[in-house]
Structure 1
Amino acid sequence: MAAAAVAMPVALALPSEADLPYEEDVLRDPHSIRPWRRYLAARAAAPLLERAVIYERAVRALPGSYKLWHAYLLERTAAAEPHRGEHPANEALNRAFERALATLHRMPRIWEMYLAALLEQRLVTRARRAFDRALRALPVTQHHRVWPLYLRLAALPSCPAETSIRIYRRFLQFDTSRADELVELLVSAGRWQEAADHIVSVLNGGSDVSDNDRALLLKLCDLLAKHADEVAGLKVEAVLRGAMREFPDEAGRLRALLAECYARRGLYDKARDVFEEGVTTAATAAEFALVFEAYAQLEQSLVAAKMEKTADEEGDKLVTGCWLADGDDGDMCLARLERLLDRRQELLNGVLLRQNPHDVAQWHRRVKLFDNEPARQAATYVEAVRTVDPAKATGKPSTLWVSFAKMYEAHGNLDSADEVFAKATQASHRSADDLATVWCEWAEMQLRHKRFDKAIALMRQATAEPSAEVKLRAAAAAAAAGDDEPAQLKLHKSAKLWSFYVDLEESLGTLASTRAAYEGAMAARAADGDQLRLVPRGARLFEDSFAAYEMGANLFGHPHSKPIWDTYLERFVARHGGSKAERARELFAEATRRAPPHDRARLFLRHARYEEEFGSAARAMAVYDEAARSVPASDRASVYEAYAGRAAELRGVPKVRRVYEQAIESGGLPRRDALALCLRLAALEEALGEAARARAVFVHASGYGDPDADEEFWAKWSGFEVRHGDERTFTDMLRIRRTQKHAKTPGVHVNGELKDEKKKRCADQLGATQSKRQRV
């Protein structure tokens, strides 16, 4: 029967007449691969059954030919792919692979094809044996091509767990970096002890902690916490705490696992201790949230369990009416849960303060959490002022001292508030302004409680300049510590402190003490112009106030001296009027001399008004004349306008004419200002009936006018000629305009403005011409 089965394909595959040339070639040289390949290429369209006969003959003649076997196995594999399980095509394929490996057992590609085919057929036992043979037959350098397929076999659902574990144990001898896969396999199989032992062996065998070792250690912690009863030989708490020290960023999760381990054993008090340690030492808000959530879940589960147990035992109590016999601690569990939830804000604030202990705002928020507990508020303030470093603080540490003292004040304990303020004045502060705030708040507290003498005494103490010995001692201490100069040495120069002190003296002190306060402020160079606001209290105080103004004007420069001089001149003129004209003139001259150039015009005009009111017209005109020569060119036109206006009222038209002529002839005016003054002079001459003089002014002003830009000027000249001229004068006007337009010869220039404008227009025209030429 078997012989018939073998002979049938041979009979079916008898060569035809077209195959005779190829048969002759292979018979002539059967041990050469070329005639066989030509024969197979010629029969490429034949069925696999016929080609298989040729392949079998070829590999029998050339059993070591890799090319023939590879092509034959590929065709066999393609033919077996549509079939699954125990099919004759798969069995024929497997027998072909076995015959090929008899001579090609050193070829990794043949092994890969065979092993992949066995995996597709789901033949676990046969595949495992074939894998073992492949690993024994191939050198170690080729094993990396076999193990991926072997691990696929271990992952098959039909592969027993013991087989998969053994496969992975062998694989880890080849590649130790994938130990976590074996751990996952052991865990999925429920073999907790073996998983833990394997992790320990891997961790003890390595020197440096890698990412893989980190994952393994965390997995070990998870196993110990959740399966502590099944894992023996390891100290759970020691392992977990060692992992916390090794990986601080995972401390929250590890604490939760340790507490869960204790809770599974029924050690709830120890679990609470671990959770308390976690919520009070958490370094980040995320870690705190994780531990707190686990803590709350534990308490909730205990409350639920107690309530369920109480409901079950309600009818089974043997002793009733005695609270000592009642073993129900459900209320205690519920109280613990409520207490935990109430402490959440406090615990979270502690986390934020551990991240930045110098955050002043967070300390204030912590104090507010204890509004109903004055003792804890005081303790929190003490801890805050001891912890916060002013050099590193975010916010103002002085507000902690002030709030601390106000807490005692709110409870009526003024002596303790004074002690806090006294310590605050000696503490380190970032700036003198912060220290001044503390002193001012201390004095304001005294004012709120009607202790006026003590408030003034505090301000006098704060504004007193330290002695030379104190300065030297403080400077030496700061240099030794490497710090900056203490704020206490700069306190007596604080403008804020002196301002408060002066206000206090004005309200509660005497005339002499008020004057002494102002003198001290100016001597310390702590006051500015806005703070010199002495209120005269009788005629004998005016001279003192004027002396203070002079002192302030000498101490400060521009712009701080401007309000001082304005107030000084106003008060002096209001007080003395024209009785001390020489002194007033000296003050105006001094103020003008010290003022910046852009502010002199205002002082000159103010001086001129004083001369008009208390002096003479001649002096006023002299002041205007000096102003016109001294002020900057940008302000000169406005001065000349005011000069001309006052001259018309005080001296008449001839003086006005001389003012305009002086302005036009003096030079130094911007072009447009000079042109405007010429137009005003021409209008004056026309109003006086002096047409010839007005025409001469227009002719002179044409040197300032631009034929293209100043259309208003040429329109006014044209209108003037229509009203007062004739054909000749009108023609002269047109000739002058045309001449200037074509010749572009500037007349009188001021600061070269006309010349610059014409140069700019010429440059623009030249640029446009060049651009046009470039385009062409």
Structure 2
Amino acid sequence: MSIERISLDSSSITDKDLPFEYQLQEDPYNLTNWLRYYWHKNSIVEKVYILRRACYQLQNSYKLWILYLDHRIELLQGLQPVGPYQYDFRLVNEEFEIALSHLNKMPMLWIKYLEFLIPQPDIRLTIRTFNTSLRTLPLTQHDKIWKLFLEFGDELGGSIGSSIYSRYLIYKPLEIELVLEKYLEFGDHSRSLDLYKLILNDETFISSKDKSPSDFYLECLELLQKLPPNSNSNDDDKIFETFIRQGLNKFPDQFGHLYTELAIYFTNHRSNILKSQIIYEEGLSKCQTIKDFTTIYESYTEFLEKLIKELMIKIEESPDPELDDELDLRLHNFEKLMDNREFLINDIKLKQNSNNVDEWLHRISIISDSDISLKLQTYVKAITTIIPQKSTPGLYKLWLGYSRIYEDNQDLQTARSIFDKATKVQFNSIDELVNIWLEWANLEIRQDDIDTAIRIMEVATKCPNNSKIDINDTTIAVQKRIHKSVKLWSFYLDLIESSGDIDETRKVYEKLFDLKIITPLILINYANFLEDMNHFEESFKIYERGLRIFKFPVAFEIWNIYLVKIMKRKVGIERIRDLFDRVLESCPKDLSKQFYILYSNFENENGLYNKSITILLDAVTKVNDDSKVDVYKNLILKLKETNDIDKLRSVYEDAISIIPIGKNLDILLDFINFETSLSEFIRVRDILKFSLKQKSLQKLWDVWRSFETENGDKDTFKQMLKFKRELNTPIEVDYTQTNIGFVKSSEGPKVSSINASENSNINPDSIDLDI
């Protein structure tokens, strides 16, 4: 391909052009004249010739220069800027330079020139032109240049591309992440590391891509691992290790990962096995979480397993005694690591909370029983490390376990000394101190020294001068509140009672009354103790004292036991009646059933049957609904012992009328059996009808069927089936007139209008018997 050269002389002017030439001679600075001349020409070369003359004449005309340069570029379209046409491209460059010397504030002119230069081989010229444009144009127009400049940098890549982006970072510091990506893309490790350090050291930096500081740190770490080694490997090692240790302080959540990466670095990059092993051990000893421990531990075990396998392969290929010794050492280290896993996990949990009693106890439990020395050391470390006020529950267990080791080894003096120190510890709760005193007493009991155990409990229960101390007041030391511990006094009572000292036992019980910590159980035990000593009246007085202290529902058991005991002693009837009247006056409805039945049985045993029945009749109106069934059952049993059939029948009727069918089924069936035994078959059928109208139960139908089979005939059986059919069809029945005394209503069933026509053709007596 050839290019038509542009003529720079007047040879291209023809006779047709003369009018235009004359106009230009008259007014050479008229833009319109030049444009008419330009439009007059048909050849692009001739047009370019006219435009070139115009631009040189009107040097500050932006419109002419753009038109002219566009045509110059058009003439070179499709040609390569190297080889035979390199000169032509250079000429155009010169024209651009001339244009820009007059119009250097026009950004589009710079852009056209830069776009024209980019494909050309002279990179220096292109970069120099980009720099000149940025220096020349105002800052507000730099964005247009930088867009093209960055595209040029992307195309070039390498160090030049990095340099371009470095300048761009000065222009737009917020684009640091974009520049970092380009550095990495161009393989500029040095600049990449500098940017990573800048980001990591800037605490105010906020990523536009939602990356966290640890994300940038890990990316930087990955880059460091890819760096080619320097001549001095020690420098590389120092840089890498320093960077890791800085990360450990700044990103503690990456602790396990960073230690693992450091160890792997010395394994893979330096083959420094010993250094890697030291780092793994250091990481395991310093990690604070189970997650970090798991990461380091698993990597460490893989590291050791790999070493052992490689060593075994070497031994197979070439046996060597030294390699055998090394293998034994490696295996020993591996087994030790596996055996210590539970201890290492326990170390981490204790680092997280050194006041965690359960973890200290667990640590002691995993120590071999044969290693008594280590167990004792661990007990001492636990006791001296834990702050009692901050400890988790169970601190007393450490003291007990510590003492038990000495006791088991017959060093009782040291065991007692430990208990003595433990009683002075400011435990979080009274129960912990109580357990210390109790176990100390048990130690003496195991030595068959009851007297010493009692003396220990005397010291434990000794009351301070201030008897109004609240046991729940945590602002007061547990040592000053322990005298109000029921658990402590109960144990003391057991010891005193077992000693057989009656007077001392009574003193202890009375002390509990004085301290106002008597419980219903201890009160009943006190009363039983006096009863065993044949002090019956004093025993009853204890019950009375308890009833003044405790109210319902707590008083329920006290009253129950008291009434049974006093009735057993057969004291005056009126005294016992007074007690029953007292309890029934204060007892809630839901608890009174037991006392009514007990009262009724008492009167019955004394031959007062009518009064016994009267009490139960009164109970029916006083107890709550859930208790009525049991009261009625007791009442019916007592009435059966008499011959008052009418009274018994009346009670039956009241029971099935008042109590819902689902709850009174036993009474209902008993009522049916009662009437059947009297051959009152009509009444039995009325009872069944009344009950089934309330609730249709299959069991009642079965009872009626059995009754008719034994006592009825064909007609009565048909009536039963008819009644059953009426209940199972949508018939409106007026139950409001149903008499509880089982007298049939004068009105028959009302048939609904919906079924009237259907039922009118049915013979109510036409029923198939199924017998």
| TM-score between both structures, scaled by the size of structure 2 | 0.63
Partners in 1 of 2:80 and 2:432 — Cα distance?
A: 87
Q: Does 1:64 align with 2:62?
A: yes
* Residues 27-426 of structure 1: pairs in structure 2 closer than 5 A: 64-65=62-63, 102=99, 106=105, 108=107, 124-125=123-124, 127-147=126-146, 149-154=148-153, 156=155, 159=157, 161=159, 163-176=160-173, 185=183, 210=205, 219=220, 248-249=252-253, 278-288=283-293, 343-371=340-368, 373-389=371-387, 392-426=390-424
Q: How many Å apart are 1:540 and its aligned residue?
A: 1.7
Change (3 A) 1:446 1:29: same
Aligned to 1:443: 441
Change (3 A) 1:590 1:393: same
Q: Does 1:649 align with 2:641?
A: yes
Change (3 A) 1:368 1:499: same
Q: How many Å apart are 1:271 and its aligned residue?
A: 8.6
* Conserved? CA contact 2:184–2:192, under 8 Å: yes
* Residues 633-648 of structure 1: pairs in structure 2 closer than 5 A: 635=627, 639=631, 642-643=634-635, 645-648=637-640
Unaligned stretches of 5+ residues in structure 2: 8-29, 56-60, 715-731, 741-771
Letter of the 2:553 counterpart: P
Letter of the 2:381 counterpart: E
Candidates 609, 615, 619, aligned match of 1:617:
609
Candidates 481, 485, 504, aligned match of 2:476:
485
Aligned to 2:26: none
Deviations 1:140-182 (A, max 9, x none): 33334444554554455x6553x34543443343344566857
* Conserved? CA contact 2:400–2:439, under 8 Å: yes
Partners in 2 of 1:427 and 1:266 — Cα distance?
A: 54
Change (3 A) 1:115 1:382: farther
Unaligned stretches of 5+ residues in structure 1: 8-26, 44-49, 318-327, 724-740, 750-776
Partners in 1 of 2:459 and 2:140 — Cα distance?
A: 90
Deviations 1:199-252 (A, max 9, x none): 88x599x885646896888859996998676869x9999887666555555666
* Conserved? CA contact 1:471–1:489, under 8 Å: no
* Conserved? CA contact 1:621–1:643, under 8 Å: yes
* Between 140-149 and 237-246, the greater mean CA deviation after superposition: 237-246
Partners in 2 of 1:56 and 1:543 — Cα distance?
A: 143
Change (3 A) 1:141 1:514: same
Q: How many Å apart are 1:600 and its aligned residue?
A: 1.5
Change (3 A) 1:401 1:707: closer
Residues matched between the structures, number: 665
Aligned to 1:321: none
Deviations 1:289-312 (A, max 9, x none): 566678789989999999999999
Q: How many Å apart are 1:71 and its aligned residue?
A: 12
Deviations 1:437-495 (A, max 9, x none): 33333334444444433334434443x252125988x99xx99xxx5333334434434
Change (3 A) 1:446 1:88: farther
Letter of the 2:350 counterpart: L
Aligned to 2:557: 563
SS of the equivalent of 1:428 reads: coil
Q: How many Å apart are 1:58 and its aligned residue?
A: 8.0
Partners in 2 of 1:138 and 1:96 — Cα distance?
A: 22
* Between 331-340 and 627-636, the greater mean CA deviation after superposition: 331-340
Change (3 A) 1:57 1:512: farther
* Conserved? CA contact 1:648–1:655, under 8 Å: no
Q: How many Å apart are 1:609 and its aligned residue?
A: 1.1
Change (3 A) 1:619 1:145: same
Change (3 A) 1:645 1:248: closer
Aligned to 1:47: none
Change (3 A) 1:188 1:592: same
Partners in 1 of 2:241 and 2:696 — Cα distance?
A: 99
Change (3 A) 1:4 1:237: closer
Change (3 A) 1:116 1:252: farther
SS of the equivalent of 1:593 reads: helix
Partners in 1 of 2:422 and 2:64 — Cα distance?
A: 94
Change (3 A) 1:651 1:55: farther
Aligned to 2:580: 588
Letter of the 1:349 counterpart: N
Q: How many Å apart are 1:581 and its aligned residue?
A: 3.0
Aligned to 2:759: none
* Conserved? CA contact 2:158–2:187, under 8 Å: no
Partners in 1 of 2:128 and 2:355 — Cα distance?
A: 69
Change (3 A) 1:147 1:432: same
Superposed CA RMSD in Å reads 6.7
* Residues 473-552 of structure 1: pairs in structure 2 closer than 5 A: 484-505=475-496, 509-510=500-501, 518-520=509-511, 524-529=516-521, 532=524, 534=528, 540=534, 542-543=536-537, 545-552=539-546
Q: Does 1:458 align with 2:456?
A: yes
